[in-house]
Chains A and B, each alone.
Chain A
Amino acid sequence: MEIQELVGAVHHVAWLPWAVQYFFLIAISTTAFLLALPAFLLGREAALPRARLALMTAVTTGITAPIALLADLHQPGRFWEFFVYTNASSWMAWGAWFVPAYVGLLVLFAWAVHRPAFHACGQEDWRFAWIFRWLSLGGSANGFARPLGYAALFAAILVLSYTGAEVYVVKARPLWNTPFLPWQFVATGFVGALGVMLVLERVLSRDGGTEAQLNRRLALWLGVVAVLGAAWYGVALSGISPRHTEALASVAGFPVWHVLAIWGAGTVAITFLLALLAPRNSGWVTGLLAIHAAWMFRWTVFMGGQAVPKVGSGLYDALLPAGIAGLMGVIGTFGLWLFLVIAYTTFIPWSEAGVPTAGKTAAPSRPASQF
C-alpha cells in the first residue's frame, strides 16, 4: 500500500536549541566534576593537574547550563512555580530541585578547594588583597571540602539520573524512549567533558603528560559510546524490543539520518584512533572533535527526535534558525561559558588548588603579583 499525506499539520519544535545547550552543558559539568574527585576527594596528588581542569570545566559549564535551561522556558518569569507547585510525578519537577542543589554545592565545593589560595592572596600586600580576604572569609581551613564534595557528588548523580530519565520516559518519541539513552548521555557527557578539558589544557597548561592522560580517558569513553551505540542498533535490528525496532524504523528510511549515523560513527572512530595512537600531540583535534561529538549527539536526539512526526508522515526539518532561539542562542551560551572561563582563570588561583586538608593549609607559594 502506498500512502501520500496530502494535508497535515507541521509542529514547531517545542524544545528549542536552548535545550540542546542545557543537556550538553549539564552533562559536561556533572561528568567533569566526577573526573575531579579522585584528586580532591580521594587525595590522589598525581591526578591534581587534570582535576584542576576538571573542576574549572565543571564550575563554568555548571553555571552556564541552568541559564540555557531557563531560556528554553517560554515563560521564564514563572520559574519560581517549579518550587511552589512541584508535581512529584514529573522528572522535570525533581530536576528543578536537583539542579540548583548541584550547582550550589559545586560552587561551594570549588570555593572550599580554593580557599587556602584565596587566603594566601589576601595576606599579601597588593591592591586587590581585600577581595581575597573577603573571598576566604578570613581563614584557610578547608577540611569541610570533603563532605561538601560528597554532597555535590550525590547531587551530580541525581542530575545525571534525572536528565536521562526525563527524556527516557517520553513514550511518545520512540527515539527517546530507550533505556540506553541515560547511559548514552553519561558516556557522551564524559566525552564532552574530556574534550573541554583537553582544549583548556592546550590553552592553559600545555603539559604533555596531562594531555596524554586525558586522551587515554577520552579513548576509553569513546569506546563506551561506541559499545552503547552498537548495542542500541543491535537491539533495534534484532526485533527483541519493539520500541527500539520502532525507533529505528521511524528514521531508517531517510537519507539525512544515514548521513547523521555515518557522521557520528565516523567522528567517534577518528577521535578514538587519534586519542589512542597519538595521545601527546592531538589534544586540540581530539578535544574539539570530542566536544563536537557530544554536542552533535544531543542535537540529533533533541532536534532530530522532534523532527519525527508522532502521527503524520515524513520528517519535519530540524534546521538551526539564525535567531535568538537558534544559532544566536547557541553562540550566546558558548559566549557566556567563555566569559566564565576567562573570569575563572583571571580571578581564581586555579592552578594552586590542592587536596583539601582537615587542618589549616599552607599558603600557596605563587606570589599575588602573578594574577
Chain B
Amino acid sequence: MEMNRRGFLGAVGRVSIGAAASVAGAGHAAEAAAGGHIPHWGMVVDLRKCIGCQACTVACIMENDVPEGAFRTHVSVYELVMDGQDPAMVMLPRLCNHCDNPPCVPVCPVEATFKAENGEVLVDASRCVGCAYCVQACPYDARFINHQTQTADKCTFCYQRTQAGLLPACVETCVGGARNFGDLTDPDSEVAKMLSENEVSVLRPEMHTNPNVYYIGLQDVLAGRVAGEAAFHPAVLTEPGLTGADAHGEGA
C-alpha cells in the first residue's frame, strides 16, 4: 500500500513537472517573440508514443467549441496486417499541417484565410463567405464548414493559447507526450531537437505543401491516402463524425 502511495505521488510529481515544462517551453517562445525573434510554430508527433486515447480530440473540442460531428484534430486508428506478421494497431493523429505553401490560401476568393506571422494558417471568420473552396483545396481533409458559424473552420494551433504563452490544448493534454509543439526556428526548442535527432516524415509530401507538422515513425503506407478498407462509414451528408466501431458505439 505504501509503495503504491509513493508511486502515485511520484507519478503526480512527474506529470506536474512535465506540464510545467511544456508551458515554460511555450512561454520561452513567447519571450523570444518579445525579444524580436518571431517563432515559427510547428508540431512533431512521435507516433511511437501515441496510444490512440483521443484525449487530444476531446481537449480540442472543449477548448475550441468544435461543433458535434466535426473535428479540428482526431486520431485515425488503423489495423495493419503485414505479410507473415501479427496484426498491428497504428495511430495517426491528424490536424491542419499549417503548410508553408498552403493550397487553401490562394483559392480563397475573399482572402479570408491567410498565413499568420508565426506560421499558423488561420481563417478570418468575419470575412469568410463559406464557399468551401479551401475545404476542397486542402489535401489533408483538415478543414470543414462549421455549421454553427457557417464559415470554414480548422485547427489554429490554439492561437488564443499560444498568444498567451500556453501550449495548444491537444499538446498539453497528450497523455503519452506524443504531440510536441514549439518554435521550429529555435535550435534550442524541443521540436527542433527532435527534428535533428530523429528521422521524420510529413503527410502527402508529393503535394509540395511544406507542412509544419512532422511525424516520427510514420509508415509510408499511411502517409498519403490510405489504401485500406473503412470499417464503417455513415451517410456523409447526414451523419458526419468519427467512424469505426468504437466511435459508432459512442453515438458519433
A: residues with CB less than 8 A from B are 1-15, 72-75, 78-79, 81-82, 84-87, 89-93, 95-96, 166, 169-173, 176, 250, 306-307, 309-321, 325-326
A319 to B71, CA, bound (A): 22
B136 touches A311 (CB 8 A): no
Chain B residues near A87 (CB, 8 Å)? 106, 108-111
The 0/1 profile, CB within 8 Å of A marked 1, for residues 85-109 of chain B is: 0000100001000000001001111
B246 touches A5 (CB 8 A): no
A6 touches B79 (CB 8 A): yes
The 0/1 profile, CB within 8 Å of A marked 1, for residues 174-206 of chain B is: 000000000000000000000000000001100
B107 touches A317 (CB 8 A): no
B16 on the A face (CB < 8 A): no
**In the complex where A1-B81, A87-B111 touch, is A6 in contact with B246 (Cβ < 8 A)?**
yes
B207 in complex: contacting residue of A4, A92, A171, CB < 8 Å? A171
Q: Which residue of A lies closest to B89 (CB)?
A: A6
B78 touches A4 (CB 8 A): yes
User: How many Å from the CB of A178 to the closest CB on chain B?
Assistant: 15
Chain A residues near B52 (CB, 8 Å)? 7
A15 to B134, CA, bound (A): 11
A15 to B94, CA, bound (A): 22
The SS class assigned to the B binding surface is loop
For window 54-83 of chain B, which residues contact chain A by CB distance below 8 Å? Answer: 54, 69-71, 74-83
**In the complex where A12-B144, A317-B237, A319-B237 touch, is A171 in contact with B129 (Cβ < 8 A)?**
no
Chain B residues near A78 (CB, 8 Å)? 110, 127-130
B139 on the A face (CB < 8 A): yes
B14 on the A face (CB < 8 A): no
A172 to B141, CA, bound (A): 9
A90 in complex: contacting residue of B83, B132, B133, B233, CB < 8 Å? B133
* Max chain B C-beta neighbours (<10 A), residue from A86, A87, A91, A307: A87
A3 to B116, CA, bound (A): 37
Chain A residues near B229 (CB, 8 Å)? 3-5, 313-314
B23 on the A face (CB < 8 A): no
**In the complex where A15-B132, A307-B236, A316-B233 touch, is A7 in contact with B243 (Cβ < 8 A)?**
yes
Chain A residues near B242 (CB, 8 Å)? 7-10
User: How many Å from the CB of B11 to the closest CB on chain A?
Assistant: 28
Can you list 17 A-B contacts (CB < 8 A)?
Answer: A1-B83, A4-B228, A4-B231, A7-B242, A9-B242, A12-B70, A12-B240, A14-B135, A75-B128, A75-B129, A82-B109, A87-B108, A92-B133, A93-B109, A176-B136, A311-B224, A317-B234
Interface residues of B, CB < 8 Å — how many? 71
A325 to B129, CA, bound (A): 17
B227 on the A face (CB < 8 A): yes
A74 touches B138 (CB 8 A): no
A244 to B1, CA, bound (A): 65
User: How many Å from the CB of B136 to the closest CB on chain A?
Assistant: 5
A89 in complex: contacting residue of B74, B106, B139, B204, CB < 8 Å? B106
Q: Which residue of A lies closest to B73 (CB)?
A: A9
A10 touches B240 (CB 8 A): yes
A318 to B82, CA, bound (A): 32
Q: Which residue of B lies closest to A69 (CB)?
A: B131
The 0/1 profile, CB within 8 Å of A marked 1, for residues 217-249 of chain B is: 000010011111111011111111111111100
B128 touches A309 (CB 8 A): no
Q: Which residue of B lies closest to A307 (CB)?
A: B236
B137 on the A face (CB < 8 A): yes
* Max chain A C-beta neighbours (<10 A), residue from B79, B107, B221, B224: B107
B151 on the A face (CB < 8 A): yes
A5 touches B231 (CB 8 A): yes
B109 touches A5 (CB 8 A): no
**In the complex where A6-B246, A75-B128, A90-B133 touch, is A310 in contact with B233 (Cβ < 8 A)?**
no
A311 touches B140 (CB 8 A): yes
B107 in complex: contacting residue of A81, A92, A314, CB < 8 Å? A92
B144 touches A14 (CB 8 A): yes
A250 to B224, CA, bound (A): 12
